[in-house]
Amino acid sequence: MLEAPVVVAVSLCYLGLLFAVAWWGDRRADQGKSIIANPTIYALSMAVYCTTWTFYGSVGRAVASGIGFLPVYLGPTLVMALGWFVLLKMIRIVKANRITSIADFISSRYGKSHLLGGLVTIIAVVGIIPYIALQLKAVSSTVSLLLSYPEIVMPNHSATMSVAADLSFYIALILAAFTIVFGTRHLDATERHEGMVAAIALESSVKLVSFLAVGVFVTYGLYDGFGDIFEHLQTHPELRKLATAIPSGQGYTGWFSLIVLSAMAFLFLPRQFQVAVVENVNEAHLKRAAWLFPLYLLLINIFVLPIAVGGLLHFSGQGVDADTFVLTLPMSQRHEGLVLLVFIGGLSAAAGMVIVETIALSTMVCNDLVMPLMLRHNRLAHEESQDLSGLLLGIRRGAIVVILLLGYLYFRLAGEAYALVAIGLISFSAVAQFAPAMLGGMYWRGGTRGGALAGLSAGFLVWAYTLLLPSFAKSGWLPADFLTQGLLGFDLLRPQQLFGLSGFDQISHCLFWSFLANIGAYVGVSLLRPPMVAEATQAAVFVDALKDGGQLGPVLWRGRAKVSDLQELVGRFLGPTRAQAAFSAFARRHGSANGVTLEADAQLVQFAEALLAGAIGSASARVMVASVAKEEPLSIDEVMHILDEASQLRTHSRELERKSSELTAATLELQAANERLQELDRVKDDIMSSVTHELRTPLTSIRAFSELLRDDPKMHLADRERFLGLIVSETERLTRLINQTLDLAKIESGRADWNGCELDLKAVIEQSVAATSQIFREKEAQVELDLPDNLPLILADRDRLIQVMLNLLSNAAKFLSPATGRVHVILRTLSDGLEVSVRDNGPGIRPEDHELIFEKFRQVGDTMTAKPSGTGLGLPISRRIVEHFGGKLWVESVPGAGATFRFTLPFADAQPHLEAAVE
């Protein structure tokens, strides 16, 4: 069933499906219901990184160098996990400046330079067209493999190759058509290629699924899982080399270079820049992509070694190319469905790469090569009131076709030559040359146009000399002694041992020399002179992109321009309707009715320039706007002044923010302090009012009884005696209250007299118990003592301690039931002091009252028996006394099961600082 018509039909159906998805995505975007506003789609679209070079090539590289296929995926993984902030900054800059491509990015950063944009475009085109060719080759090889089915015939020996090559020509054309339809619908950069992104995400899913399907088929169908495969790996000596961590001949340097190289490629390949930065809908999507994309890479690599081992074992000695194992293993098992699925997966990998790369390159070619040339010949500036948007789209479409045809041509010319096989890493190395200008531009204000030009040129030339030309020589297009004897026979100029540097693999070698030249020239030339006006302006916009709001950079423009002129200019490139809509929207945002202002302000000029930049690139936009606006040039001093002011403003506003937050904090603190004061006031008031109440109450009875006695001289003797007795006891209560209030006030104010000396606590307790024995006898209660002899001494005031003990004992007595009451006094040793507990079998105290009873005037009585006698100051005073000598007083009680009051006191020798407290 794998005859040519079937293969063609399935391929066309699949491409048709992609068309449908892309069309649907675009339609939804037009309706404002984006289907790609989703972090998963974003992460999947990033997987355009995995081309046929991954899909078919990973297994080939695994056979050649064991796990040496991995570093190419470690680089992007590291970027996503650790370097995502670089991507974030790129996204911010691109959005704020309506940048359309990496060439535009670099050109815009260094003062909107046409020359730089053109250079970047040329490097990209030279570096990437062979890479596109590689994709076409992969498709045609797999087609020719399929056509010889069920035989497995390597493509280069086959007569079917020419048919397949013709087929791949048509595939190239179909891809061009696809790219044109979905890549060049509009000219405005804010209009994303939503349909294309949706199609790419689908392709990424398909290639992952089909690769996993082959992996599962080989691992679990042909063998018994990973364990089985790795057992084979160990038992076959020729396979064991696959399992070593760093294969000999590659070395750590090689790994390091590949990781750096792939990280740079992941950031700066035009197609990666397109999907990760230009097509980004929402920068928050980066968060999920930061783990989802590395996960994708992990999944697509997980079966590489098993397939490699499976292929080596299965095709041992049959001369089957390891690059084809993914397809040939299912073919050898006559698993036709899986074969087709793999073919579609490979087609996906190729198509995705080709489409996105071509869109990105065509934008660059149009905006950074063709437009500047046309501007130079003044074709555009003076063709009055002509709608140029059609022309621009035409240029881009033409560029797409030309790029794809160039790719096809390279593929037909190079064929099986080395130059095509090795192009993956060579391409990466070309793109890596953008790194100094890009990263330097985003993080260093000092970089200049001259520096960027010098760096890029130097890096590009070294790259061409050390990688591209040798690849031509190895393909036989250049004499071989170029490699062995150096240029013109100069030994030092041998391209792969430049200046005698040997011991590196060719990629590390190229990376070392090209980066040395690139970074050296970039920094060196940049430092020759300070940045000029345009460079300084753009440096501020790029370097500060992530700072407070970023996009609201200072407006660096002075001059006169008419609104109508600007609108007409924009209209010529975007179409009059779109220009009208954009200007109206701007007017609405800035609160002026459309058409009222004739004179454009700096902001409007900048807006118009940004609109144009989306269509024709920032450098050309600059030139076009300058053609309608009468600009007064700003001097570098003025620019620096404005930038300075802007940064000062930022500093001031930050300072203001800080001060205002400090003020808020201070206000809150004041409020809290005020509340605390009021609370203290209230407490003091409460205490005064409590004291007053406690004083007035006995006074009330005393006065009443006294007046009764005075007014009635003939009162019965019994009443008289009873009343006099009550008067006496109430005066006693008053005296006690006054004494205790004064006592507490003295303790609290720190004016109490403390006669501290070393005491035997046992003696103090016995004395206190003796003093209260009368009360307990009246209540018929038993007092048990458990007081060990010869305990260490404690440091305290004897009278005060007796006061505490009397208070605790009389409290206990107060709540005992008559006749059954028992009080148990225990003295015991702790690690650092002594503990006294007074336990009664009274009614106990509710848990919520355990702390309350230590507050002043807070008696907690059994409400059934009315108010307990006492002043409500005994426990607060006792607690303060104990605390004064470094101990603690608390109560433990369960209602109904009695209460235990405990206090601790530290040993005399453990508390030297108390000497001071005692004085």
Partner 1 sequence: MSKKILIADDEQNIVISIEFLLRREGFEVLVASDGEEALAKVRAEQPDLVLLDVMMPRMNGFDVCQALRADPDLSGTRILMLTAKGRDTEVSKGLGLGADGYMTKPFSTKELLAEVRKLLGM
Applying CB under 8 A, the residues found at the interface with partner 1 are 689, 692-694, 696-705, 707-708, 711-712, 719, 723, 726, 730, 861, 863, 866-867
Give the SS3 label for residue 318.
Answer: coil
In whole angstroms, the minimum distance from the beta carbon of 762 to partner 1 comes to: 39
Cα angle 67, 69, 71 (rounded to 5 degrees) comes to: 95
Token readout for 871 is 């002043």
Shortest distance, CB of residue 693 to partner 1, whole angstroms? Answer: 4
SS (H, E, C) 658-724: HHHHHHHHHHHHHHHHHHHHHHHHHHHHHHHHHHHHHHHHHHHHHHHHHHHHHHCCCCCHHHHHHHH
Minimum gap (Å) between residue 846 Cβ and partner 1? 14
Parallel, antiparallel, or unpaired for β 822-829 and 833-840? antiparallel
| Region class of 690: left (phi > 0), else alpha (psi between -120 and 50), else beta | alpha
Q: What b/e readout covers 824-837, taking b as 16+ CB neighbours within 10 angstroms?
A: bbbbeeeeebbbbb
Q: Which is nearer to partner 1, 584 or 701 (CB)?
A: 701
Question: Smaller CB distance to partner 1: residue 377 or 714?
Answer: 714
Our CB check for partner 1 shows the closer of 245 and 864 to be: 864
CB neighbours of residue 378 within 10 Å: 10
Q: How far is the CB of 870 from partner 1 (least distance, A)?
A: 13
CB distance 371 to 622 below 8 Å: no
> Which lies closer to partner 1 via its Cβ, residue 594 or residue 697?
697
Asked if residue 474 lies in contact with residue 418, where contact means CB atoms within 8 angstroms, the answer is yes
Question: Is 153 or 726 the residue whose CB approaches partner 1 more closely?
Answer: 726
Contacts of 724 (CB under 8 A, 6+ apart): 705, 709
In the complex, the smallest distance separating the C-beta of residue 828 from partner 1, rounded to whole angstroms, is: 37
Work out how close the CB of 699 gets to partner 1 at its nearest, in angstroms, rounded to a whole number: 4
Residue placing its CB nearer to partner 1 in the complex, 334 or 693: 693
Choice between 30 and 712, CB closer to partner 1: 712
Burial 802-817 (b: 16+ CB within 10 A, else e): ebbbbbbbbbbbebbe
**Closest separation in Å from C-beta 827 to partner 1:** 36
Chain-centre distance for alpha carbon 617:
31
* In the complex, least distance from residue 735 CB atom to partner 1, rounded to whole angstroms: 16
3-state class (DSSP) for residue 436? helix
> At its nearest, how many Å lie between partner 1 and the CB of residue 813?
19
Q: Cβ(48)–Cβ(353) under 8 Å? A: yes
Q: How far is the CB of 841 from partner 1 (least distance, A)?
A: 24
Six-digit token string for 259: 């990781």
Please state the closest distance from residue 695 (CB atom) to partner 1, in A. Answer: 8
Q: Comparing C-alpha atoms, which of 245, 242, 244 is closest to residue 232?
A: 242
**Alpha-carbon span 864 to 845, nearest angstrom:** 14
Q: Parallel, antiparallel, or unpaired: how do β-strands 889-893 and 822-829 relate?
A: unpaired
Q: Give how far Cα 899 sits from Cα of 704, 824, 842, 888, Å.
A: 38, 11, 7, 17
Instruction: In angstroms, give the least distance from the CB of 812 to partner 1.
Output: 22
Instruction: Identify which of residues 177 and 726 has a Cβ nearer to partner 1 in the complex.
Output: 726
Nearer to partner 1, 224 or 712 (CB): 712
Both structure tokens of 754: 């403390």
Separation in Å, CA 243 to CA 73, 246, 259:
18, 9, 19
The residue (of 669 and 712) whose beta carbon lies closer to partner 1 is 712
Helix (H, G, I), strand (E, B) or coil at 751: coil
Q: CA 206, 30, 46: angle at the middle one, nearest 5?
A: 30
3 state SS for 457-487: HHHHHHHHHHHHHHHHHHCCCCCCHHHHHCH
Start-to-end CA distance of the chain, whole Å, equals 109
Q: Least CB distance from residue 864 to partner 1, whole Å?
A: 9
Q: How far is the CB of 706 from partner 1 (least distance, A)?
A: 9
Nearer to partner 1, 376 or 693 (CB): 693
Q: Pick the closer one to partner 1 by CB: 318 or 869.
A: 869
Report the residue number, 455 or 870, with the smaller CB distance to partner 1: 870
Residue 715 C-beta: closest distance to partner 1, Å: 9
Query: Among 289, 236, 226, 250, which Cα is nearest to 81's?
Result: 289
Identity of the residue, 238 or 711, whose beta carbon is nearer to partner 1 in the bound complex: 711
Q: At what angle are helices 160-183 and 4-30 packed, to 10 degrees?
A: 10
Between 668 and 699, CB nearer to partner 1 = 699
For partner 1, which is the closer residue by CB, 551 or 700? Answer: 700
Are 182 and 39 in contact, with CB atoms under 8 Å apart? no
Please state the closest distance from residue 776 (CB atom) to partner 1, in A: 23
- The two tokens of residue 671 are 């409020």
783: phi then psi, degrees, rounded to nearest 5: -115, 120
* Structure tokens belonging to residue 223: 């063998």
